[in-house]
Amino acid sequence: MGIESAIVLAIANVGIASLGTAIVIGSVITNALISVGLGILSQALAPKPKTPNLSGSFSNKASGITQNIKQPITVRRKLYGEARIGGALTFIETTGDDQYIHMILTMADHECQEIGEVWFDDISIPMDYLDGSGNVITGPFAGFARIKKHLGQAGQVADSDLVSETSVDSTFVGVGVTYIYARLKFDRNVYPTSVPVITAWTKGAKLYDPRDATSRWSANGALFVRDYLTSPLDDLVPGAGIASADMDDTYLGASANTADEMVTTAALVQTSTTNDPATDIITLDSANDTLVFQTGDRVQLTTSGALPAGLSLATNYFVIIYQRKTTLRIKLATTLANALAGTAINFTTTGSGTMTITKNAEPRYYGGGVIESDQPVGDNLKDLLSTIGGDFIYVGGSWKIKAASYQTPVFTFNENHLVSGISIRTKVSRRDRFNLIKGVYVSPLNEGEPADYPAVTNATYVAQDNGKVIPIDFDLPMTQRPATAQRLAKIKLERSRQELFFEASFNLAAMQVQPGDVVYLNNTRMGWSSKPFEVVKWTLTSENQDNVPIYLVKMSLQETASTVYDWNSGEETAVDPAPNTNLPNPRVVAAPTSLAVFPTEIPTASGDLTYQFLITWVPPVDIFIVNGGYFDIQFKESSAVDWERSFRAEDEDTSITVKQVKPGTNYDLRVRSVNQIGVRSEWQSLFGFTVSSPSGATITLDYGLITGPTVDIID
């Protein structure tokens, strides 16, 4: 009853009498209509072709996945595969006179495999930037952040640091919840504008794989669908509630194998800068700051020198991603399974020369993404099925998950099997035609944000449609590789142009096939000789002849061809893996240069002398300083401990005058840049210069130039 309540409306929309009549096939044959159809649920739930709408809800939803949500009630989420996700802020507290802020970010409402690389805004904090206690020890947040990761395993206990440092107690466990506990130490230079948005590249749910009866993390789209179909209705993120015993796991295993197949791709190349045998990490050239590989990609190595010991030329390896931002780092595995498990090759030397890593293939249907508890079961299933371009079918008491691939014909029908005339549709209506597919996917190439994948079209089909381009949207929310997105779009386009569709009644020989099967049709009148058709719908019905029931099988079939699923790497459209920008980093602020002091004495009206000095500098070439920033200036007597209150010079200023200073006294001064968002440079300092005027004599100046660190004595 779990799946019935969720999708009965969808089934009704495709004309099946009721779910009850559909599921009795294989038990009792009655005079009632018995019908099963290929993809009856997924086809009914899929949107009809429509004109492009790039501002649709999918883009909005996908963008929200990488945000931190602060509201009293929010949806629960389940993560499949790996994706960059933010979290719901389920706890916030400050301590230490507001010096520390403690936050709990709930990432997923189930156990996850791994929380990997964490991003504060767009700054990467990989796993080796943390010590054993979660303290950040490397990078711009070193000493100012602590990150504790909890994966929601059975027996999870409250974080000991959270309990000891905040108001929570040991009951704050997070049963079955994956979360990050982050403690940030306030510093205006480290967090110049606000608390950063915290996201993490997270490997999600562990999935049962009937091929070896084990549960592990996977990016296999067929396993996504099985997991969701068999997840209970009372899960934190409810599934479809189908019993595992009702799944055709032999059929599922074939679809999972299809998803695992390696598909040749256009070459993607990156070179290494260092190879570290202590960690087995390969650091790549990061000129474009974007990693073009993904976990599971197949690569080969070449070198201008010698490869690290343990690696070989002309050998296929599989990528394990370690860091995707700033410093691009990977490991290598011997097999796809090892790459998914994170089992890296141990190489023992650094090698020599330049090592080149070239991608040559990728898994056919791998992906990742989030489903949410507030979405209808049908919508979530549609998203998951899109990963494999698939359907699911209910036949003979079992649910079958079918990945998009050409099936070898299982039977040949001819005129002798027909017991009725043939009803044929030779073309689809103009309303349902299209010849260009475009849409949105979510890829690590775009930092886990939604983006357009390259549109797929066919000039022959455009010509057949009188030269008119007819586009549709085809969003792929769980697809992460651009080549995979193009393959899926091509399959959809080619299937739509196999327009020959017919219905006929067959004798009981048709009991040997089921929806999803491909069969050969021989028909002399129609000119069909071993022409492949896919069984779309199968209905057992009866007719009375002389008061004797005669059973017939009514089938709907659509032409197909192996070329629908063919793919050549030359068909790929290249995707720019990085934005073409060269903007300065607002967190890196240059100090002013050429600091100088010019003392003067000023006669007063009473005949006395007063003293001042002019401070000058050369501003740095930084748009964030000279357009909206400013300069801090501080001075003090050299013998004093504390600096005087800062003077402020605006972005266009290159000097400032300090008045009423004492003659014959040593002074220190320092100047720093502050950019638009409040990030400050190191101080540029002059120490120990003296203003002297014995009886109105010429003022002399002597000082030493020192550049100091960003350490405030008085701010």
Q: How confident is the model at residue 361, as a pLDDT?
A: 97
Least confident piece of the model among 9-13, 183-187, 457-461? 9-13
What is the residue whose two structure tokens read 């103009």?
Answer: 430
Q: Residue 335 pLDDT more than 70? A: yes
Q: How confident is the model at residue 8, as a pLDDT?
A: 30
Q: How confident is the model at residue 610, as a pLDDT?
A: 77
Q: How confident is the model at residue 611, as a pLDDT?
A: 80
Tens digits of residue pLDDT in 421-451: 899 998 888 888 999 999 999 999 999 989 9
More confident position, 652 or 339: 339
Question: Which residues make Cβ contacts (< 8 Å) with residue 156, sequence separation at least 6?
Answer: 150, 173, 174, 175, 176, 177
Least confident piece of the model among 9-13, 412-416, 618-622? 9-13
Confidence of residue 622 (pLDDT cuts 50, 70, 90): confident
CA-CA distance, 114 to 81, in Å (whole number)?
A: 11
Name the nearest CA neighbour of 619 among 702, 675, 551, 574. Answer: 675
- Given a contact cutoff of 8 angstroms between Cβ atoms, the answer to whether 358 and 300 are in contact is yes
Instruction: Name the token pair of 256.
Output: 């999972």
Q: How confident is the model at residue 385, as a pLDDT?
A: 96
- E strand residue ranges, 412-462: 412-413, 423-425, 436-443, 449-457
Report the side by side order of strands in the sheet with 593-603: 593-603, 609-618, 655-661
Average pLDDT, whole number, for the chain? 85
Instruction: Name the token pair of 401.
Output: 């998950």
Confidence of residue 257 (pLDDT cuts 50, 70, 90): very high
Average pLDDT, stretch 638-663? 85
SS3 9: helix
CA-CA distance, 393 to 231, in Å (whole number)?
A: 18
- Given a contact cutoff of 8 angstroms between Cβ atoms, the answer to whether 437 and 47 are in contact is no
Confidence of residue 581 (pLDDT cuts 50, 70, 90): low
More confident position, 474 or 543: 474
Q: Residue 634 pLDDT more than 80? A: yes
Q: How confident is the model at residue 576, as a pLDDT?
A: 63
Q: Burial letters for 128-149: b for 16+ Cβ neighbours within 10 Å, e otherwise?
A: ebbeeebbbeeebbeebbbbbb
Q: Residue 5 pLDDT more than 70? A: no
For 107, phi then psi, to 5°, come to -90, -40
Q: Residue 531 pLDDT more than 90? A: yes
More confident position, 573 or 344: 344
Average pLDDT, stretch 575-589? 65
CA-CA distance, 333 to 282, in Å (whole number)?
A: 12
Q: Residue 636 pLDDT more than 50? A: yes
- Given a contact cutoff of 8 angstroms between Cβ atoms, the answer to whether 253 and 213 are in contact is no
Query: Which value, in Å, is the radius of gyration of the alpha carbons in the chain?
Result: 34
For 336, phi then psi, to 5°, come to -60, -40
Confidence of residue 689 (pLDDT cuts 50, 70, 90): confident
The maximal CA–CA distance of the chain, rounded, in angstroms, is 138
Handedness of CA 555, 558, 559, 563 (dihedral sign): negative
SS3 276: strand
State the pTM of this model.
0.81
Confidence of residue 704 (pLDDT cuts 50, 70, 90): low
Confidence of residue 56 (pLDDT cuts 50, 70, 90): very low
Q: Residue 686 pLDDT more than 80? A: yes
- With 0-12 / 13-18 / 19 or more C-beta atoms within 10 angstroms meaning exposed / middle / buried, residue 383 is buried
- Given a contact cutoff of 8 angstroms between Cβ atoms, the answer to whether 229 and 211 are in contact is no
Task: State which H helix or E strand residue 486 sits in.
Answer: helix 482-496
Q: How confident is the model at residue 46, as a pLDDT?
A: 36
Q: Residue 411 pLDDT more than 90? A: yes
Confidence of residue 57 (pLDDT cuts 50, 70, 90): low
Tell me the CA distances in angstroms from 245 to 198, 215, 241, 341, 397, one per residue in order. 41, 16, 12, 27, 10
- Given a contact cutoff of 8 angstroms between Cβ atoms, the answer to whether 157 and 170 are in contact is yes
- Given a contact cutoff of 8 angstroms between Cβ atoms, the answer to whether 368 and 79 are in contact is yes
